[in-house]
Each structure stands twice: as C-alpha cells, then as structure tokens.
A and B are shown apart, each in its own frame.
Chain A
Amino acid sequence: MKSLKTNFWLDAFIFAGFLAALQPRLTGIAIHEWFTLAATATLVLHIVLHWDWAVGITKKFFSNLFHVSRLSYLVDALLFVVFTVVITSGLVISRVVMPTFGLQTFSSRSWLEIHNASSNLTLLLVALHFALHWSWVKNTFNRLILEPFKRLLPQTQSQPQALPMPMKNIKAL
C-alpha cells in the first residue's frame, strides 16, 4: 500500500510538472530550466521504482508475451531516449542553468528546433504511456482518493424492506 501511494503521488507530481515544464512562458525561463533539471531526478526515480517490471519485461521481451506489455516497453524505452534528447538540447540552449556553472551554451535555432520537436514527441509518448497504464491509474485513483472520500461521507441507514412472498406460499394460501 505504501509503495502504491508513493508510485501514485510521484507519478501525479511528474505528470503535473511535465505539463508545467512545457509552458516556459507560464513559469519563466529560469524556473523552466531549474525545475526540469530537478525533475529529471524524479523521472529516474520513477524508473527505479518500476525496476523489477523493466527487468522482467527485458528478459521476456523475445519470448511469448502479451502484446500490450511489449508495446508499453517500447513506448517507455523510446520515452527514455526522447527525454534524454529534450534535456540535452535544453542544456545546450540553456540561458540560466549552464551559465550559472560557467559553461558556454549556444543560442542556436537548430538546437531549439530539436528541443521543441523532441518535447512535442515526449508529450505524445507520455500520453500513450498514460493511456497504456489507464487501468492502473483508474484503480489506484479509486483506491487512494475516491474510496477514502466515500468513507468520509455520512452513510444513510436504509430501512429493511419486506421481502416478496414466494409464489408457492401464495398458492398455498
């Protein structure tokens, strides 16, 4: 239950952070850079928490396996590569983070195009990742949020209703 809670809230935090990271005008460029760099650690943590699944699927990848798991594995692997491209290109065109460490960056249109294209692709892959794990999201949301909320609501005690008389008893009358 503890690990389920950790997974759920970490995933919710990553998802909300990812949507915010796609809006540099909303957060400002400095927060966009520092926040996404820090968020990379949470993404790695997400993989660490699902390590057993990743290792298990890697071992079984070429053997008989249900298709959704295989598709999910491919999406996740591609997501890891594309996220790396987003972070790399983001650091190359960084205006705040890298200059803070005294590192030279490029104000290059090409790197910006790579950064934009890869972040857009990431959004599509995250959406696919979310969709493929939809049943887990729905069940965990129900278990951690809806059910405790329902328990908080006052329960109405229903009056016991009179049971209908069986047909054979009616005939006997």
Chain B
Amino acid sequence: MFKNIFRFLIITLIAIALGLGIYYLLQPSSAATFGSGFRDFGGEGGFREGGFNLTRGLFGVTGNLMLVAIITVIVVSIQRLFSRKPEPITTH
C-alpha cells in the first residue's frame, strides 16, 4: 500500500516537473507572451471541441469513438497479418 502511494507521488512529481519545464520553456516567468524562438499567435483564445468529432455535444463523442475503432481494426489487422502462423504438419 505504502509502496503504491510512493509510486503515485513519484509519477505525480515527474508530471509536475515536466509540466513546469514545458511551461517555463515556452513562456518565461512574468511574461504574457512566448519566449524568443517560439512563435506566438497572439490574440485571445476561445475554446474548441477536441478530437475529430463529426458533430458537437454528445454525438461528438461518437466521432472520436469511431476513430478509436478504426485505428483498432487497422492495428489488429496488421498484427494478424505479420503474426507468426504455425506451420502445417506434413506427413510423407
């Protein structure tokens, strides 16, 4: 139990450190825009639906779910195609 809590904390700390690193790399402290070397689009942002949904709201989930299903079918098919097949036993 304590081992799992310790692991949980370690992973969280790594994620926080990585997040802070990315943040300060892109936008140095006390600046409102990106640091030099990174393109800043400028202007304010609204919010958008994520993923590849076909419509908004609840039906938007189905678009992303379909994408997951398509990728799964492709990957599983490729795995089956290249998996080692047992050689047929021949008798003479």
Contacts and interface: CB of A to CB of B under 8 A. Distances in A.
Contact of A48 (B7, B56, B68): B7
A91 B15 CA distance: 13
Nearest to B62: A19
Contacts of A128: 71, 75
A87 B19 CA distance: 8
Interface of A is mostly: helix
A116 B50 contact: yes
Contact of A131 (B18, B27, B75): B75
Contact of B57 (A25, A47, A84, A112): A25
- B contact residues, range: 35 or more
Contacts of B72: 127, 130-131, 134
B54 interface: no
B89 interface: no
A114 B23 CA distance: 11
A47 B11 contact: yes
A159 interface: no
A92 B22 CA distance: 11
B81 interface: no
A128 B56 CA distance: 24
Contact of B51 (A25, A45, A120): A120
B45 A93 contact: yes
A19 to B, nearest CB: 5
Interface of A: 19-26, 29, 40, 44-45, 47-48, 51, 68, 80-81, 83-85, 87-88, 91-93, 106-114, 116, 119-120, 123-124, 126-128, 130-132, 134
